[in-house]
Structure 1
C-alpha cells in the first residue's frame, strides 16, 4: 500500500519541479525553500553507489570533518586509561572511562553520540560490540575513532566529523548541516563530504560510481542531484 503523505508534504512536493535534475547550487537553494517545521531541520544527503558491499574490496566506509560542522551538539565518549584519559578530558570529551564506562553501557546507559578508544582498550570495548555496533557507535580505525591521538579525535568529533558506511544496498545517508545554515556553508559541506566519497571509490567498483543522489530536509521531499557534477568533485 502506497504511503499517504500529509497535506503539508504535498504542498512542499508542488514546489519541486517534477523530473528535474538539480545542480548543487539549485538543490541547496531549493531545500532551504522547503523548510516548514518548527525546529531547525537537518539537511540530509542520500547517495546510491555502484558498489557491492558484500565484497570486502567494495566497502565504502570512512569519516570526514565538515568545514561548517553539522549544527548538532555532539557528546563524545572516550575509552582510555591514565595519561590518555586525562588528555581526552582536557580536549573536551564528555565521558571518559574504561571498565566503569563498559559497565554503564551494559546497564543501558548510553549518553553519547560518538565513541573513541585507544587501541589497547579495544579488547575491553569488544565486550560491548553487540550493543554499540547496531547503534553505529563502535570505534573503528577506518573512521579515526580507534587512535592514540585521542585529543585530535575528540576535536574532530566536536567540530562536525561525520562517519559514514555504505549499507547492504549501496546507500549512504548523512546529515550535512541545518536548514538555518547559509547556502554557501551547505554547499561547502556537501562538496567536502562528496569529495571524500569520491576519494574512497573502490578499485573493484565497475560502472557508474554515484548512481543516484538526493538532498532533503528532515520533514521534506527530496530534490534529485546531478550525479555527474558530484562525481567531478575532487578533494
Structure 2
C-alpha cells in the first residue's frame, strides 16, 4: 500500500493543478500515469452551467463512442415473443418478461444496461425503485425503450454510453481504457463532449460547458483546455 501511495503522489505532483492542458497533451499525461496492474478506465468529467433541479435544465442522452468503451457490457432486454427472439439473436445476455421482472424485483441484477420494448413498460415501470437508483431504468430519450431491439442491443454492446447530469451540474462518463491509443481516446472524448453539447437544454443560461477534466482510475485529474475538445459554438451561451 505504501508503494502504491508514493506512486499516486508522484503522479499528482507531475500534473499542474491550475494548468489547462490541450486534449492531446492531457491524454498523453493520463496514459503515462496509468501505471496500475490493471487496465485503468479513463473518465471524463464535465461541469455544466445548469441546475438540474429545474426540469428545463436537465441534461440526459446517449453517445456512441467511435472506439467503444473497452468494457464488455451485459445487456438485459424486457420483451416477449418475436422481439424476445430478436433480442437473443442480437446478443442480449438476459431476455425475459414477467419472469425477468420477478428476478429483478428479487434483487438479482446481473446486467449493466437495460432495454425494453414499449409494450413492456407497464411491467418494467414497477421496477422504478430498483432500476432507477442504479441508472438502469429504460428510457425512450436514450433509445432504451424501443421496438428496434437489435439496434439497441448492438449499440449497447458496441460502445453506447448513457450520460445524465448530477445534482451539482456535473456529468461523468467512461471514455475508454488506458490501453487505448492516444488518438482513440481523444476521438472518444470529443464525441462525448459533442453529444453533451447537442443535449444543451432550453433553460441553460450563460456558459453551458464550463470546465472539463480527464483522469484514469488511479491517476490524477488533468484539466482540459475547452477550445481543444469542442466544435465551434459548443462552449458558448
Q: What band does the TM-score fall into relative to the shorter chain?
A: over 0.9
Distance in structure 2 (CA, Å) of the matches to 1:203 and 1:137: 25
Instruction: Report SS of the residue matched to 1:6.
Output: helix
How far is the alpha carbon of 1:204 from its aligned partner?
A: 2.0
In the alignment, which residue of structure 1 is the partner of 2:160?
Answer: 161
Deviations 1:93-141 (A, max 9, x none): 0000000001111122111000000011011001111000001110011
2:17·2:222 contact (CA, 8 Å) conserved in 1? no
- Residue pair 1:191, 1:233 contacting (<8 A) in 2 also: no
What SS class does the counterpart of residue 61 from structure 2 fall into?
strand
- State the TM-score, normalizing by the size of structure 1: 0.95
Gaps of 5+ in 1: none
Number of aligned residue pairs: give it. 231
Query: 1:45–1:216: 8 Å Cα contact kept in structure 2?
Result: yes
TM-score normalised according to structure 2 size? 0.94
Q: Determine the C-alpha separation between the residues in 2 that align with 1:17 and 1:52.
A: 29
Shift of the alpha carbon at 1:172?
A: 0.3
Distance in 1, Cα, partners of 2:213 & 2:121? 36
C-alpha separation in 1, matches of 2:16 and 2:223: 10
Structure 1 residue runs of 4 or more that deviate by more than 4 Å after TM superposition: none
Counterpart in the other structure of 2:229 = 230
CA shift at 1:225, angstroms?
A: 0.6
SS at match of 2:46: strand
Asked if 2 retains the 8 angstrom alpha-carbon contact of 1:53 and 1:167, the reply is: yes
Structure 1 vs Structure 2 CA RMSD? 1.4
The Cα offsets for residues 14-44 of structure 1, whole Å up to 9 and x where unpaired, read as 2212421101111111100111210000000
- Unaligned stretches of 5+ residues in structure 2: none
